[in-house]
Structure 1
């Protein structure tokens, strides 16, 4: 079955801008790359599309005081959260103190648990307020972990997926001295192992790359995911319907997947990085959602209902309708947007 057909089958399925005077707002939520590829660094747009942010390893410091009230923070009641490498997370119109550095915050599908990389580079989970923190796995010395995503499946919850085993795992990127791999670990704790990426069935199918992979996002009830490959500049789909299969679906980076199989991703266009949408049913051509962008737009994330996309810009976080429209700045915090159900 082709990757497109599997996509159709799976389709059912700051912190405020001012911390305190003299306290720098730290950036995180990056492809685990050299910070020289961050937006505004003077690199080319294609290079920015592949990395698009500051180095996560640079954000281990914590601010000395709680943030002040945001001049622009319209996250209340939206489910949108923003992590930026400090101990504070923008959530529901306020800054929540997690008591530890929070990088690349992600949410379980039910919104009851958070996953993030802490100040020691380890993978942690917690309650939504930062309570009951648990170290899921500790990163080896010299290895940088980033961008966790939560894969959950409950047998019987999805009629279109009979026989699937229960899943409660975390996927994330491991940068081992420049070699990028996707790893997985039970969310309750364990030893991380490489994720099986599989291949699309058929003749003359090239092997999916085992390295260079990053920025995984699980996006539907059966646990299928998307990820990017830094080396070939393509977005890949991983079908977890019955067995691990998958392959490249488009050119781009930093993809996210909604329950209907739609993929939002970043691609260089007109001198900047734009957001593009690829429909899960494959009937419509890819669409540039931000054709008038005059800055780099990066790190898109679907809302839980798939109707809104949040994304990062140099001056904060914006949202827009998932089918296209005018971007609206909702927070002057610069960090990674994520939605809590």
Structure 2
């Protein structure tokens, strides 16, 4: 079984806009925020998945009704809690986080989090790129879809000053951007907009290779690029090229350079930028593989060698020790070092993400 196509049709998007869910918590995650929380991410498939289950009292199990988070030692509700940072979006209005659900007031697809966890970015019911607070408020439209395009899978690209860097805050501001995939007329490209400038016009991200200052290297494909995932402190982005079935790693911080990382799809770059997890089909199922991002370390590890189901759409925990993945039955997690088999943690069928 191959990896699912993440770009929904117009009819599917229309279906999503009709799906709503009630806010189960009287106070948002910010009000109950004793630490980083987790929110459900959009599936991007256009199908409406059921909202996460609440406890019998109408609130998270083990906590007071409408508290927004379980009490200390309380039971996690469908896999999300303040402790594990896990979030799951399903393409509906509701986002599951902190053991409850939050109504964002619009369809939320492909939800991701800013590096500090204070903002969420997602594609809304109009197909626009939007940011919001964790409680669904404070929404800002960063870029409006011009029509005839399908946007998906945003990721927050940041870079921190490095030794010897003299570019200052202004130079680094170009790395405070959101990169996303755009499909138009059958052509896939990566685009980006400034993270703090509502109403911006997206520009095409053009990966190229210049390793060692050599501009004559074979250049990576400019179209067919999708599923970007940023990580690390160097402005690094992993992305997939659909026609080639390859995963690439692009570093645009000091010397722009794109490297082919091998066969796969749906890559996710670890928070420290040192590891890559991606999806590859093996014996009829989608497996999760990891490898180092270092160019001299090409050994891959199959984290799911005995997979009897599909593991797709992986995401790293903030500490880099755990990977969450979507399955046909919900979401499972496993140690990033492959020391244990995946464990089902949620029956919510959607895109997993972690809020730092």
The aligned runs of 1:52-67 (5 Å cut-off) are: 52-53=5-6, 55=8, 57=10, 58-59=12-13, 60-66=16-22, 67=51
The aligned runs of 1:39-50 (5 Å cut-off) are: 45=1, 48-49=2-3
Instruction: Note the alpha carbon deviations across 1:233-269, whole angstroms, 9 max, x for none.
Output: 0000101230321121111000011114200000010
* Residue 198 (structure 1) shift: 1.5
Structure-1 residue corresponding to 2:247: 235
Please list every run of 5 or more consecutive structure 2 residues that lacks an aligned counterpart in the other structure: 23-50, 56-76
Quickly say closer, same or farther: Cα 1:277–1:217, change in 2 above 3 A: same
Structure-1 residue corresponding to 2:293: 280
TM-score (norm 1): 0.80
Structure-2 residue corresponding to 1:41: none
CA distance in 2, matches of 1:197, 1:85: 29
RMSD, aligned CA: 2.0
* Residue 204 (structure 1) shift: 6.5
The aligned runs of 1:48-87 (5 Å cut-off) are: 48-49=2-3, 51-53=4-6, 55=8, 57=10, 58-59=12-13, 60-66=16-22, 67=51, 69-70=53-54, 73-76=78-81, 77-87=83-93
CA distance in 1, matches of 2:216, 2:256: 18
Are residue 120 (structure 1) and residue 134 (structure 2) matched? no
Structure-2 residue corresponding to 1:208: 220
Are residue 195 (structure 1) and residue 209 (structure 2) matched? no
TM-score (norm 2): 0.77
Quickly say closer, same or farther: Cα 1:162–1:311, change in 2 above 3 A: farther
8 Å Cα contact 1:62/1:87 also seen in 2: no
Quickly say closer, same or farther: Cα 1:56–1:70, change in 2 above 3 A: farther
Specify the structure having the higher radius of gyration (Cα).
Answer: 2
CA distance in 1, matches of 2:182, 2:355: 24
The aligned runs of 1:1-341 (5 Å cut-off) are: 45=1, 48-49=2-3, 51-53=4-6, 55=8, 57=10, 58-59=12-13, 60-66=16-22, 67=51, 69-70=53-54, 73-76=78-81, 77-155=83-161, 158-159=162-163, 163=167, 165-166=172-173, 167-187=175-195, 188-189=197-198, 190-201=200-211, 202=214, 205-258=217-270, 259-281=272-294, 282-283=296-297, 285-324=299-338, 325-341=340-356
The DSSP-based 3-state class of the residue aligned with 2:191 is strand
Aligned length: 292
Structure 1 range deviating more: 202-211 or 249-258: 202-211
8 Å Cα contact 1:265/1:275 also seen in 2: yes
* Residue 186 (structure 1) shift: 0.6
The one of the two structures with greater contact order (alpha-carbon pairs below 8 A, sep at least 6) is: 1
* Residue 230 (structure 1) shift: 0.3
Instruction: Note the alpha carbon deviations across 1:144-195, whole angstroms, 9 max, x for none.
Output: 110000012344xx44756452321010000002100000111123110101
Quickly say closer, same or farther: Cα 1:180–1:52, change in 2 above 3 A: closer
Instruction: Note the alpha carbon deviations across 1:70-127, whole angstroms, 9 max, x for none.
Output: 5861211211111111000111211111111000001000000000000000000011
